[in-house]
Amino acid sequence: MFQAILATSPMLSDIQAFLPEIYLTVGLLLVVIIDLLPGMTDRRIPALLSLVGLAFAARVLWQQMSGEPRIEAFGGLFVVDRFALFFKLFTTIAVTVVILYSLAWKRLESRMGEYYLVLMSAVLGIFVLVSSQHLLMVYIGLELLSIPSYILTGYFKNQRKSSEASLKYVIYGSVASGTMLYGFSLLYGLTGTLRLDEIGPALAQAFSESGNPEATALAFLMVLAGFGYKIAAVPFHYWLPDVYQGAPIPITTFLAVASKAAGFGVLLRYMYLVYGAPGALATLSDVDVVAWVDKLSLLIGIVAAVTMTLGNLAALRQKNVVRLLAYSSIAHAGYLLMGVAVIGSSGLEAVLFYLVAYLIMTLGAFGMVIYLSNSVKSEEIEDFRGAGWKAPIVCGAFVMCLVSLVGLPPTAGFVGKWMLFRGVIESGMLWLAVVAGLNSAISLYYYFRVAKALFLEKSEKEYTLKRSPVMAAIIIGLSVLVVYYGLRFGGLIDLVQQANLFAAVQ
Amino acid sequence: MTAAHIAFAAFALITVVSAFVVASHRSIVHSAFGLFFTFFGVAGLYLTLGADFVMAAQILIYVGGIMVLLLFGVMLTPSRRSDFVPARFLRALTLGAIVLVGLLWVLKNAHWATQELASPESTIDEIGRQLLTREQYLLPFEVVSVLLLAALIGAAYLARRRKIVD
């Protein structure tokens, strides 16, 4: 009966589409309220509440996954399709692990109520962002992700590095989002609409009628500044190393995994709706338009190549593991951008697959940093020397994640890279595949320097490694997944194909 | 040249000149006062566009609220005059000029999707209706409230005083 009532009222059916977000909001409000009650000083309570909120949201997401393939709610501003659900489930998993990491990390001891409230609102921002089909919603989602990220980065307000990182993040972030808004205003001026699904055809029509290549290109570049800053593509990457190093490590994990994936989610939907959807620019056969879209594709390809090369070269010189992983995350944004440069079906599937691999291996790598830094109180590579023999299984699992980050078989990272390479080669960008191949070879060096420090070098300091069964279980579980998806990737490819925006149309 | 053109030119001039003062003045107090006129000029620009509600909100919130808060902040913190570095100024000026010329060139050549619209009597009615209509802007309106809550609590957390240690 309840279902029947829901089906009759448009407002209620919209609310049903928005139910995961509502659970998140209720969860974060409960965190605030419970935190204010007297006697609730245990720092695990807000974490538990956040996990419960996420679990409720995940349950609805799972139901939506087997429901209608595409629901438009709130007049088309908000869309629930497999693509959005993919990113929402992805975020739910990532944030669950981030919360467990926050509980395990010994240096987060101050008040924790605000921490989880702000973290959960960032999650809500990601949910809104990947579902939005309207420039205003994109902007609000992006800010709802960014502003909590600034706050969380500066969460250690008694540490100068953390505050500095936060300030740097705010300044770069505001410039990027201002530039993006300018781009949005150009898009609105050129098409007269803010809806992404209407902008695509309107832009194509305006382009073929009056030829607006400069203005369209300028709008594209400016919007790319906003998304490029979220995914930290060159030249919008300056903030990343300092922010990753200054932020609490669980937050660094969040930024590296969830926030970056959300950036790719909105970038992919934007590229699809504005350039790749039926009736949009990439589907026209006009010679001028084809040349223009090729240039666009080439531009993203160049950004991808520069991003991965710069990230990898800078990572070579790093002595701090977090900084090394920061540059490696820039490099991975470059690999992922290869799939965006191919404005098409195979590129999108490759990006989604690689994101899953990236999620697992990056979570594993940062988990290990937390595990070790809890004992050695440092994140320098030289302080990790010899730790491998103190906890061989966990460190072995970590090395497996590194192997996957390099992209060697038999890991998920290898399959993901293979799909990305195939995508760019199919669309005739062989040079990009060559650059990416060279980059993977470079990355082998610095990832294995970490592995070498763990297993082949002797420690000068004497210390005992604190055991943490939960962290060990998470890291080992992640490394098992890395290998599992490296060998049996069929199920994951099915999932990715379902989430493919291009396939949903046919 | 109609009255609307003259009004636009006047407000645009106020905005741009005061924005230049904000960016270039060496004393932060003067910059803050410059910002006062920038906000005011922008409010005037909204008025020339027929957006009466946005203009009123701009004056009430930016000129009346944020500006006063900003001045308090500036006056209660130790401020020092920033150094004038000619090389840096020149670099910024060159970059700014390139961006300006590029933007003007692109914007002038673009074909905009324009429509002839009758100027509305008052926009408040329409804004209120759209903000609370399901198919219009109800969802962004509600989501923004969570954004404000997170920003508010986060700001309160960060502003509480703590000792800085390296």
How far is CA B129 from each of CA A76, A279, A337, B147, rounded to the nearest angstrom? 18, 32, 41, 22
Taking CA atoms, B28 is separated from A12, A425, B20, B90, in Å, by: 52, 54, 13, 20
Residues contacting A268, CB < 8 A, separation 6+: A83, A340, A348, A351, A501
Q: Is residue A359 helix, strand or coil? A: helix
Find the helix or strand (DSSP H, E) in which A72 lies: strand A70-73
Average pLDDT over residues B60-82: 84
Q: Is residue B71 scored above 80 in pLDDT?
A: yes
Closest CA to A81 of A230, A231, A255, A272: A272
Residues sharing a CB contact under 8 Å with residue A179, sequence separation 6 or more, in sequence order:
A222, A225, A226
- What count of CB pairs under 8 Å joins A to B? 118
**pLDDT number for residue A392:** 87
Distance, first Cα to last Cα, chain B: 62
Do the chains contact at B109 and A214, CB–CB below 8 Å? Answer: yes
Cα separations in angstroms, A252 against A11, A94, A242, A259, B16: 38, 12, 11, 10, 40
B138 sits in the region (left: phi over 0; alpha: psi -120 to 50; else beta) called alpha
Q: How far is Cα A245 from Cα A256, in angstroms, rounded to an integer?
A: 12
Cβ contact A157:A204 at 8 Å = no
CA distance A191 to B111: 10
Question: Containing domain of residue A503, as a range?
Answer: 302-506
**What are the backbone angles phi and psi of residue A80, rounded to the nearest 5°?**
-110, 100
Domain endpoint, select from B27, B51, B80: B80
Interface of B with A (CB under 8 A): 103, 105-107, 109-115, 134-140, 143-144, 146-147, 149-151, 153-155, 157-158, 160, 162-166
| Residue B18 shares a structural domain with residue B75 | yes
The Cα of A369 is separated from the nearest Cα of chain B by a number of Å equal to 21
B145 neighbourhood in chain A, CB within 8 Å = none
Q: Which one, of A241, A191, A243, lies nearest residue A216 by Cα? A: A191
Q: What distance in Å separates the CA atoms of residue A164 and residue A247, rounded to the nearest whole number?
A: 10
In this predicted model, what pLDDT tens digit does every residue of B33-55 receive, in sequence order? Answer: 899 899 999 999 998 888 889 99
Residues of B in contact with A116 (CB under 8 A): none
- Distance from the Cα of A12 to chain B's closest Cα (Å) equals 11
Q: Which residues contact B73 (CB under 8 A, 6 or more apart)?
A: none
Taking the C-alpha atoms of residue A171 and residue A455, their distance in angstroms, rounded to an integer, is 41
Query: For residue A268, what are its two tokens?
Result: 């992919």
Give the nearest partner residue to B150 out of A18, A148, A212, using CB atoms: A148
How many C-beta neighbours within 10 Å does residue A11 have?
12
Mean pLDDT per 10-residue segment, chain A (506 residues): 64 86 93 83 85 94 88 89 93 95 79 87 95 93 94 86 90 93 92 89 82 83 91 88 92 94 94 84 79 88 94 92 93 93 87 94 92 84 83 90 90 92 89 92 91 83 79 92 91 87 66
Instruction: Identify whether residues B128 and B73 lie together within a single domain.
Output: no
- Report d(CA A141, CA A196) in Å as an integer: 15
B151: which chain A residues are within 8 Å (Cβ-Cβ)? Answer: 147, 151
pLDDT of residue A6: 59
Position B102 in a domain: no
Dist CA A447 CA A451 (whole Å): 7
Mutate which of A16, A115, A121, A169 to disrupt the B interface (most B C-beta within 10 Å)?
A121
In a domain, B9, yes or no: yes
Query: Is B150 within a domain?
Result: yes
Whether residues A192 and B150 touch (CB distance < 8 A) is answered with no
Q: Report the alpha-carbon distance of residue A264 to residue A232 in Å, rounded.
A: 10
CB B43 within 8 A of CB B59: yes
A428 Cβ partners below 8 Å, 6+ apart?
Answer: none
One domain, residues B76 and B124: no
- In total, how many domains does chain A have? 1
Hey, are the CB atoms on A136 and B147 less than 8 Å from each other?
no
Same domain, yes or no: B5 and B57: yes
Compute the nearest-CA separation of B118 from chain A (Å). Answer: 16
Asked if residue A59 belongs to a domain, the reply is: no
State how far residue A334 is from chain B, nearest Cα, in angstroms.
Answer: 27
Give contacts of A195 with chain B, Cβ < 8 Å: none
Q: For residue A319, is it within any domain?
A: yes
A279 lies in some domain: no
List the structure tokens of A240: 């990343």
Domain co-membership, B76 together with B14: yes
- Let me know whether B73 and B125 are in one domain: no
Model confidence at B150, in pLDDT bands (50, 70, 90)? very high
Instruction: Give the integer Cα–Cα distance in Å for A204 and A96.
Output: 42
- Same domain flag for B67 and B7: yes
**pLDDT for A4:** 62
Instruction: Write out chain A residues lying below 8 Å of B134, CB-based.
Output: 10-11, 14, 74-75
- B35 within some domain: yes
* Residue A327 DSSP SS3: helix
Contacts of B105 in chain A (CB under 8 A): 214
The amino acid at residue A159 is Q
**Would you say residue B42 lies in a domain?**
yes
Using CB atoms, pick whichever of A137, A143, A191 lies closest to residue B113. Answer: A191
Distances (CA, A) of B36 to A437, B10, B26, B41, B77: 54, 16, 16, 9, 19
pLDDT at B17 over 90: yes
In the structure encoding, which two tokens stand for residue A425, read together? 């080669």
- Chain B residue with the nearest C-alpha to that of A147: B151
Q: Hey, are the CB atoms on B106 and A215 less than 8 Å from each other?
A: yes
Give the distance from residue A238's alpha carbon to the nearest chain B alpha carbon, in angstroms.
19
* Cα torsion angle, B134, B138, B140, B145, sign: negative
| Phi, psi (rounded to 5 degrees) for A105 | -80, 125
Report the residue of B95, B112, B142 to disrupt the A interface, i.e. the one with the largest count of A CBs within 10 Å: B112
Interface test with A, best of B100, B127, B139, B149 (most A CBs within 10 A): B139
State the pLDDT at residue A506. 45
Q: How confident is the model at residue B160 (pLDDT cuts 50, 70, 90)?
A: confident
By the 8 A CB rule, do A178 and A145 touch? Answer: no
Q: Which of A206, A195, A205 is nearest to A76 (CA)?
A: A195
Query: Nearest CA of chain A to the CA of B63: how many Å?
Result: 20
Contact status, residue A362 vs residue A329, Cβ threshold 8 Å? yes
pTM above 0.90, yes or no: yes
Q: Spell out which residues of chain A touch residue B139, defining contact as CB-CB under 8 Å.
A: 18, 73-74, 77-78, 137
Q: Is residue B92 part of a domain?
A: no
The span from the CA of A496 to the CA of A493, in Å, is 5
Q: Say yes or no: B62 and B124 in one domain.
A: no
Q: For residue B23, give its domain range.
A: 1-80
Contacts of B92 in chain A (CB under 8 A): none
Q: Residues of A with CB below 8 A from B152's CB?
A: none
Q: Would you say A95 and A257 are in contact if contact means Cβ atoms under 8 Å apart?
A: no
B110 three-class SS: coil
The answer to whether A190 and A210 are in contact (CB under 8 A) is no
To test the contact with chain A by mutation, choose from B99, B129, B147 the residue with the greatest count of A C-beta atoms within 10 A, namely B147
The CATH number for B74's domain is: 1.20.120.1200
Q: Out of B57, B80, B103, pick the residue that ends a domain.
A: B80
In chain A, which residues have their Cβ closer than 8 Å to the Cβ of B144? 140
The reply to whether residue B164 touches residue A159, judged by beta carbons under 8 angstroms, is yes
Would you give the distance in Å from CA A338 to the centre of its chain?
15
- Regarding whether B62 and B125 lie in a shared domain, the answer is no
Q: Which residue has the tokens 């382009």?
A: A207
Which residue among B63, B80, B97 closes a domain? B80
3 state DSSP class of A468: coil
Which of B134, B154, B165 shows the shortest C-beta gap to A10? B134
In chain B, residues with a C-beta closer than 8 Å to the C-beta of A74 are 134-135, 138-139
- Indicate the residue of A161, A189, A218 with minimum beta-carbon distance to B112: A189
Buried b / exposed e along A468-497 (16+ C-beta atoms within 10 A): beebbebbbbbbebbbbbbeebeebeebbe
* Contact assignment for A147 to B147 by CB distance below 8 Å: yes
Helix, strand, or coil here: A13?
A: helix
Which of B115, B138, B165 is facing A192, going by the closest CB pair?
B115
**Closest Cβ–Cβ partner in A124, A140, A206 for B111:** A206
In terms of domains, do B134 and B60 share one?
no
Domain count, chain B: 2
Asked whether residue B76 falls in the same domain as residue B1, the answer is yes
Identify the burial level of A136 via C-beta atoms within 10 angstroms of its C-beta, where 0-12 means exposed, 13-18 middle and 19 or more buried: middle
| Alpha helices, DSSP H, located in chain B | 3-24, 28-48, 52-57, 67-76, 86-109, 124-131, 138-159
Determine contact, residues A325/A240, Cβ cutoff 8 Å. no
Q: Which of A25, A74, A189 faces B138 most closely, judged by CB atoms? A: A74
Residue-wise DSSP of A109-160:
-S--HHHHHHHHHHHHHHHHHHHB-BHHHHHHHHHHHHHHHHHHHT--TTBH
Position A495 in a domain: yes
State CA A403 to chain mean position distance.
Answer: 20
| A340 C-beta neighbours (distance < 10 Å), count | 25
B128 and B76, same structural domain? no
Contact call for A192 and B144, based on CB within 8 A: no
Taking a C-beta distance cutoff of 8 angstroms, is the pair A303, A234 a contact?
A: yes
Q: What is the CA radius of gyration of chain B?
A: 21
